[in-house]
Structure 1
Amino acid sequence: MSIHHLVDTIVHNDPWLAPYRSQLTHRLIAIEARRQQLCHTQQQDHAPNALIDIASGHEYFGLHFRNNQWQFHEWAPNASAIYLVGDMNQWQPSAEFQFQRIDGHGHWELLLPETALQHGQHYRLHMVWPGGEGPRIPAYARRVVQDSQTLIFSAQVWRPKSPYCWKNHFKRPNVTPLIYEAHVGMAQEEGKVGSYQEFTVNTLPRIKAAGYNTIQLMGIPEHPYYGSFGYHVSSYFAPASRFGSPEALMELIDTAHGMGISVLIDLVHSHAVANHVEGLGLYDGTSYQFFHEGPRGRHPAWDSCCFNYAKPEVLHFLLSNCRYWLDNFKVDGFRFDGITSMLYHDHGLGQAFTSYDHYFNHNVDLDALTYLALANQVIHNLRPDAITIAEDMSGMPGLALPTAQGGIGFDYRFAMGIPDLWIKYTKDIRDEDWSIVHLWHELINRRHDEKTISYTESHDQALVGDKTLIFRLADAAMYWHMNRDDEHLLIDRAIALHKMLRLVTLATAGHGYLNFMGNEFGHPEWIDFPREGNHWSYHHARRQWSLADNPNLKYCLLNNFDQAMLALCKTYDALRYSDVHLLWVRDDDKVLAFERHGLIWVFNFHANKSFTDYSIPAPAGEYEVILSSDDERFGGHNRLATDTPHVTLPVEDSTSEGHSQRLHLYLPTRTAIVLKNRQFWSTQKPG
């Protein structure tokens, strides 16, 4: 399809883009031009899988054992000499371990006999450049470890006698992603750094039992500072060794696949840690090898380095990183972190993005946008079943549109405004004063031509200095009144609203849903990684699973509700059908009702008023309640008889959505119910 036809398609989907046809055309031309430039650079202009083949730098660069010898390749244009130093030569540069420059483009090579290196040995590069020298960890290192005594990072020769043998041939099923965002290191209750193995044995079964079909793992690529949550990456091709071996991560992913669970990882290509030895900062003695030179190369808010996405070698590095995790660890896709920071020269800092003009001006970093499009092409051409998710708060049009429709190619984008909405409502407004009309507008306010994933809270809302949703609702009362036999009004309110907010977020989600680990049962405490300010404590860098496992505490009731909520979503495949039809919304009554794929979702947010015989418009038929947040097993008061059928009654005047029938319901205060249309579902096949 021609570029002009692609622009016609994206404008047809969103007529507000019509004034920006020329910018959209320029965007697509730039993407194709960059693709051709890369292919020409690698002399693969006409190869059918040229871009996939280009994204294979990880098979050339770095340390490899091939043809009965060790082969080591590096790209360091400014270097005047490179030596391999480590356990094998007492960390001293020597002629035996000196690289040779093999071309005029900064490529270096070292060939060694098999006996020169042994599995487990530590090494670094000793890089020499005009006017200086220093130790460096290779950019493509696949194993990086930190010495527990000196705290110094080194690469490690990794050639185990028995490579991991994959057990499951897995293809990600075409299902609604119900994502469990997790962090391996803090997934255990003990105050320590958790391991891949512990996550596999202890946490994966919890995720499976909870009903989530996708895991999003944070902090997998190596990062020197644990407290960065994995977002200051140093070694892009090395899985974080503080959690265990590469094989242990493979076993984690393989085990998840055996459970039918897809595994995504956070990919941080928006910036890199500025460290010189551990990271890519001043890698060959220059600040501009991988990054922009001068102020543009430094992120003012994150104290990190910004990639130069116009450089073919940098694109080669980043595209290869996408393929590496798909090839070597069989991940099923990526959440691309910090997209907004990439897309704009000012990183989106302080920008409200209230006009389409903000998406089409000189502030947009076209090189970054081009890279994201090429990354999606590599990922989807290599693994058509893989998914990519954009973390963008700006609302850039076309990010989550397929390339065949003129988009950048992400499968989903996060609905990042929704957690901010819940913070505003729970922090600043009494629920007696909530505008249900406004809530409804914000919950469905998204680009309807692009797929979105909604969430009430992610790890961002749980970090120290912030509060989880349940803690905003209950505050310190959680520490004293979570016993099941303890009747406490504030806790009762918090539990009721916690269920309702999560259910209404799921029910109105565009095409997927995300939860951060522990929040499904109302984990009470924030996340605070070991740091000087907390005396290097692990107390808040863990998850208290025992709270949910204790039948005498109310956490298990929230856990029950989350399981039931997801089970309903999967049984009726609710999110596959994105059309949500408003039936009724009233600010004075605090009542919201809408229909989605044969299900009616009704919410009474009123703080103190229950309604008997409440009338709402509905498609004609007989209905049954299939979920009630007021159920006793969910911490409710059992005020609803869920086995009573409800039949619509005709009315003379249609007041909403053209329905001439109405349902009459009992709506207890702070309660949500879901009803299914028996006639509709008699012709459908629940999942």
Structure 2
Amino acid sequence: MEFLNLIKNDSWLAPFEKVIAGRHQYTIEKENVLTNSGSHSLASFATGYLYFGLHKVSDGWVFREWAPNATCIYLIGTCNGWQKDPAYKLNNIGSGVWEIFIPEHALHHGDLYKLWIEWNGGAGERIPAWCRRVVQDTESKIFSAQVWNPSVPYVFKNKKFVPSKSPLLIYECHIGMSTSKETVGSYTEFRENILPRIHKAGYNAIQIMAIQEHPYYGSFGYHVSSFFAASSRFGTPEELKELIDTAHSYGIAVIMDIVHSHAVKNETEGLGRFDGTTHQYFHEGDRREHPAWDSLCFDYGKNEVLHFLLSNCKFWLDEYKFDGFRFDGVTSMLYYSHGLGEAFSSYADYYNGNQDGDAIAYLTLANRLIHEVNPHAITIAEEVSGMPGLAVLPEDGGYGFDYRMAMNIPDFWIKMIKEKKDEDWHPSAIWWETTNRRKDEKTISYAESHDQALVGDKTIIFRLIDAAMYWHMQVNDHNMVVERGIALHKMIRLVTASTINGGYLNFMGNEFGHPEWIDFPREGNGWSHKYARRQWDLVDNMDLKYHYLGDFDKEMLAAITSIKNFEKTPLEKLWDSDADQTLAYKRKDLIFVFNFSPTRSYSDYGILAPKGEYEVILNSDSLKFGGFGLTDDSIRHFTHFDPLYKKEKKEWLKLYIPARTAMVLRKVKPVKS
């Protein structure tokens, strides 16, 4: 049996070699089935969107749908008064596939349509599973598919865009709530108003949520109904394409938050009982419904489901030029238990028979497909259990993601803020949590994402400052609670971002300490959009303190990207003292120094560092970042010789480090004569 590199890199996995190799072999066998033993590629297999759905052809329209349990299907819509017209009856052409040819004059751009599907014992209206455009009537709130064939289709200008990944700096965002108005934002508004902000801030990627059509806005896009339709509540397909094209012109990659872990239960809008059966796309029996999410679970063991989902991956890459995906809910996919109630306290928990081999095969094949279609694509796993190999190449025994989310880090920060007194913030624990990861897997580190901003939870800034944000954020208002919160907010972000081994993520607005949670319009809040928006005027107002945090975030990213391939540089701890609450580490020519003590400032504090001259390039206590300005950052610092450390080529770097302060120093290169 092949000894996979995943196991070579981690000897603790050796007892589970048979299981790991078995999963690897199962994926190979599944791929052989889908590609007819390699007679064609995964990319050519995953082209269902070019066959199914509605397509304009030279002399009319052709529509196809897979509905194996159906006994009769009609296309109904504005073209025939929403009636069962024999002229619009589909033909069963075998293998559960239905087809109809429609004359060119019968359908027009903008027409609405659905399917009327009949089966033994019932019938119902359905939105086609493969449709690319779904709209909601403003009065009746009913969703329908829409014929989309604009006279001037969008043509991408940036055809050879390659994402920058050194490091990957992700701005997680939601189109609808990106506006400052109490309404739903649009693709166009985001392109015109928000993309320039993101570019100016220094991020090189955006991760967009809620793109796939979903009936309920408040689901944050996680209860998907139409997997091939870009949400029309934000605008048209052309407007989304222009947004992506414009992002590419800025050098910004566009990652889609894709939901293949479950689907909405709705039957009229979604796939819940599409052809009259409950198991066309989903599991039967106890496995059909997700016990925590009120949604349906795909059956990844069915080749037709794999065809649907893999085609969905390729569609978004091909049609919209997305640069990759963040896969949501991977933990739920990996385990029969969906990870609920699991401790994951030992390696045995990953190989104890509770794992869904079909889901593992799907995720591996999805990654292989995505990178086959676009070798520069980015794939990220949102996974909490710590399953080994997620971000390891399939040929090495892994599942093929480029990155995995470091979901332990935001949980750690919440626990620290909630449960620890400032005097008990131990740098050794901070170092451990921000650097504790598998050596053979790249991660996306983050202090908080959208999860920590949802109603019922609190953002970091809100946990630190709370109600004082409403009264003491004027620049001339000196409030101890606010000053503490601003100082720690900067330090938390800097230590998280500077210890990465892959990338860093921030949720929209959190970089400047957006003051309130996210609460989408719902019956419980009177369908208000007040908390489903971003108040950009706060960071733009120089009389308020929010801009201090935004300015620091920008300079922090600039410091990190000043080092080529920063995320790949060795991370070397130079000093830590839980007693003093100090921490220092280096990456190439940069030294990061932290003093988490709330009360103690240190003069001539010694840190062992490589010999040389150093300049301060970032100081969280600077006046321009809302600090106290207690140090003169124009002064250069020289190391002091100590014979005890001569062999290590290190000397004492002595600094004044104010309380609750972080500094970044850069080694000054000698001038060549």
Residues 1:595 and 2:586 aligned together: yes
Aligned match of 1:208 in 199, 207, 210?
A: 199
1:617 and 1:659 in contact (8 A); partners too: no
What is the total number of aligned residue pairs between the two structures? 671
Aligned match of 1:672 in 636, 654, 662?
A: 662
Aligned match of 1:543 in 534, 553, 569?
A: 534
In structure 2, the partner of 1:268 is 259
Aligned match of 1:116 in 99, 106, 111?
A: 106
In structure 1, the partner of 2:504 is 513
Measured after TM superposition, the shift of residue 417 of structure 1 is 0.5
In structure 2, the partner of 1:4 is 2
Aligned match of 2:26 in 30, 41, 45?
A: 30
1:136-165 alpha-carbon deviations (Å, 9 max, x no partner)? 000001000011111110000111111112
Aligned match of 1:334 in 317, 325, 332?
A: 325
In structure 2, the partner of 1:357 is 348
Looking at structure 2, the residues matched to 395 and 122 of structure 1 have their Cα atoms a distance apart, in angstroms, of 45
In structure 2, the partner of 1:92 is 83
In structure 2, relative to structure 1, the CA distance for the partners of 1:176 and 1:289 (3 Å cut) is same
Residue identity in the other structure for 1:130: N
31-40 or 150-159: bigger deviation: 31-40
Residue identity in the other structure for 1:111: F
In structure 2, relative to structure 1, the CA distance for the partners of 1:562 and 1:490 (3 Å cut) is same
In structure 2, the partner of 1:309 is 300
Looking at structure 1, the residues matched to 454 and 323 of structure 2 have their Cα atoms a distance apart, in angstroms, of 27
Secondary structure of the residue aligned to 1:490 is: helix
Residues 1:391 and 2:373 aligned together: no
1:613-671 alpha-carbon deviations (Å, 9 max, x no partner)? 0011111211111111111110011111112111111224459x956421111100000
Secondary structure of the residue aligned to 1:304 is: coil
Looking at structure 2, the residues matched to 392 and 384 of structure 1 have their Cα atoms a distance apart, in angstroms, of 23
In structure 2, the partner of 1:642 is 633
1:433-457 alpha-carbon deviations (Å, 9 max, x no partner)? 1122111111111111100010000
Looking at structure 2, the residues matched to 13 and 651 of structure 1 have their Cα atoms a distance apart, in angstroms, of 38
Looking at structure 1, the residues matched to 588 and 650 of structure 2 have their Cα atoms a distance apart, in angstroms, of 19
Looking at structure 2, the residues matched to 399 and 363 of structure 1 have their Cα atoms a distance apart, in angstroms, of 17
In structure 1, the partner of 2:360 is 369
Residue identity in the other structure for 2:24: L
Looking at structure 2, the residues matched to 157 and 15 of structure 1 have their Cα atoms a distance apart, in angstroms, of 56
Looking at structure 1, the residues matched to 495 and 514 of structure 2 have their Cα atoms a distance apart, in angstroms, of 20
Looking at structure 2, the residues matched to 212 and 268 of structure 1 have their Cα atoms a distance apart, in angstroms, of 24
2:257 and 2:325 in contact (8 A); partners too: yes
Secondary structure of the residue aligned to 2:441 is: coil
Residue identity in the other structure for 1:373: T
Measured after TM superposition, the shift of residue 599 of structure 1 is 1.0
Looking at structure 1, the residues matched to 667 and 197 of structure 2 have their Cα atoms a distance apart, in angstroms, of 32
Aligned match of 2:38 in 35, 46, 55?
A: 46
Looking at structure 2, the residues matched to 647 and 313 of structure 1 have their Cα atoms a distance apart, in angstroms, of 66
In structure 1, the partner of 2:398 is 407
Residue identity in the other structure for 2:660: R
Measured after TM superposition, the shift of residue 15 of structure 1 is 1.4
In structure 2, relative to structure 1, the CA distance for the partners of 1:667 and 1:66 (3 Å cut) is same
Looking at structure 1, the residues matched to 384 and 643 of structure 2 have their Cα atoms a distance apart, in angstroms, of 45
Unaligned stretches of 5+ residues in structure 2: none
1:173 and 1:385 in contact (8 A); partners too: no
In structure 2, the partner of 1:291 is 282
Residue identity in the other structure for 1:142: R
2:66 and 2:98 in contact (8 A); partners too: yes
Q: Percent identity?
A: 56
1:197-256 alpha-carbon deviations (Å, 9 max, x no partner)? 110111111111111000000000000000000000000000000000000100110111
Within 5 Å, which residues of 2 pair with 1:124-143? 124-143=114-133
Secondary structure of the residue aligned to 1:4 is: coil
1:577 and 1:596 in contact (8 A); partners too: no
Secondary structure of the residue aligned to 1:373 is: helix
Looking at structure 2, the residues matched to 428 and 197 of structure 1 have their Cα atoms a distance apart, in angstroms, of 43
Measured after TM superposition, the shift of residue 46 of structure 1 is 3.4
Looking at structure 2, the residues matched to 605 and 252 of structure 1 have their Cα atoms a distance apart, in angstroms, of 41
2:390 and 2:404 in contact (8 A); partners too: yes
1:267-305 alpha-carbon deviations (Å, 9 max, x no partner)? 100000010011000110011000000110110000100
Residue identity in the other structure for 1:413: R
2:111 and 2:147 in contact (8 A); partners too: yes
Looking at structure 2, the residues matched to 606 and 579 of structure 1 have their Cα atoms a distance apart, in angstroms, of 27
Looking at structure 1, the residues matched to 77 and 671 of structure 2 have their Cα atoms a distance apart, in angstroms, of 70
Aligned match of 1:13 in 9, 12, 15?
A: 9
In structure 2, the partner of 1:145 is 135
Within 5 Å, which residues of 2 pair with 1:582-621? 582-621=573-612
Residue identity in the other structure for 1:12: K
In structure 2, relative to structure 1, the CA distance for the partners of 1:578 and 1:26 (3 Å cut) is farther
Within 5 Å, which residues of 2 pair with 1:128-277? 128-169=118-159, 170-277=161-268
After the TM superposition, which parts of structure 1 deviate over 6 Å for at least 4 consecutive aligned residues?
none
2:500 and 2:567 in contact (8 A); partners too: no
- Per the normalisation by structure 1, the TM-score is 0.96
Residues 1:530 and 2:521 aligned together: yes
- Per the normalisation by structure 2, the TM-score is 0.98
In structure 1, the partner of 2:334 is 343
Secondary structure of the residue aligned to 2:387 is: coil
Residue identity in the other structure for 1:109: E
Residue identity in the other structure for 1:122: L
2:213 and 2:230 in contact (8 A); partners too: yes
Secondary structure of the residue aligned to 1:450 is: coil
Secondary structure of the residue aligned to 1:609 is: coil
1:196 and 1:249 in contact (8 A); partners too: yes
Looking at structure 2, the residues matched to 623 and 354 of structure 1 have their Cα atoms a distance apart, in angstroms, of 43
Aligned match of 2:653 in 659, 663, 667?
A: 663
Residue identity in the other structure for 1:13: N
Looking at structure 2, the residues matched to 517 and 135 of structure 1 have their Cα atoms a distance apart, in angstroms, of 38
Residues 1:624 and 2:615 aligned together: yes
2:166 and 2:565 in contact (8 A); partners too: no
Residue identity in the other structure for 2:432: H
Secondary structure of the residue aligned to 1:84 is: strand
Within 5 Å, which residues of 2 pair with 1:54-93? 54-93=45-84
In structure 2, relative to structure 1, the CA distance for the partners of 1:659 and 1:346 (3 Å cut) is farther
Measured after TM superposition, the shift of residue 461 of structure 1 is 0.2
In structure 2, relative to structure 1, the CA distance for the partners of 1:658 and 1:347 (3 Å cut) is farther
Unaligned stretches of 5+ residues in structure 1: none
